[in-house]
Amino acid sequence: MRFLLSRIAWPVPRMPPCPTRHRSTLSLGQPRELCLVIAAVAICAGSSASAATRAASQGRTQPVTIVLTEFAFTPQTLRLHHGQAYQLRLVNKGSGDHNLSAPEFFRTAQISSGDASFVSGGKVEVSKGQTRTVRLVPATGQYGMMCTHLLHASFGMTGRIDVD
């Protein structure tokens, strides 16, 4: 009888397979969540890899364009980073001649010897329809720029170059 009872009693404590099953169902769900986390991490790693690629490309000469028209520089404020090599493209899309005068900026920048002749008296002349390219590495500072052609600055042809 005791034997029988114990035999009957045995499956009872063993009975709750339901929570166990639930738990196993849950634990089956967890690897799926883990997969999602891994996938998210992989996506994040991918984006940080592209950020690294971007950072690497910043090591190379970066083209920057300023468009000269009547009577404006576009963009009006140029934001550059010191130590970065730039290819400064001055594009005259106006109906007349213009220049970009920034004596302090050009004086402190390291200008490529091949392009130094374009800078005269702290300014670069750009004839109508012409594009002048000056390769340089700017020095930290805030510089004013303007067109020194008669009255052009007073008509609004001014701007600034911020180098951080």
The one among 66, 73, 98, 136 contacting Cu ion by CB under 5 A: 98
24 vs 120, beta carbon nearer Cu ion: 120
User: How many residues interact with Cu ion (rule CB under 5 A)?
Assistant: 5
Q: Which residue has the tokens 């971007």?
A: 54
The one among 81, 89, 93, 149 contacting Cu ion by CB under 5 A: 149
Closest CB to Cu ion among residues 62, 70:
70
Token representation of residue 124 = 């670069």
Q: Does 147 bind Cu ion (CB under 5 A)?
A: yes
Which lies closer to Cu ion via its Cβ, residue 141 or residue 156?
A: 156
Output the smallest distance, CB 57 to Cu ion, in A: 33
Contact 124, 149 (CB under 8 A): no
Angle formed at CA 66 by CA 151 and CA 79, multiple of 5 degrees: 105
135 binds Cu ion (CB under 5 A): no
Measure the CA–CA gap between 90 and 121, rounded to whole angstroms: 17
Alpha helices, DSSP H, located in the chain:
2-9, 11-14, 17-57, 103-108
- Rounded Cα gap, residues 152 and 100, in angstroms: 11
Among 152, 159, 161, 163, binds Cu ion (CB under 5 A): 152
Question: Among residues 132 and 152, whose Cβ is nearest to Cu ion?
Answer: 152
Contact residues for Cu ion, defined by CB under 5 A: 98, 147, 149, 152, 157
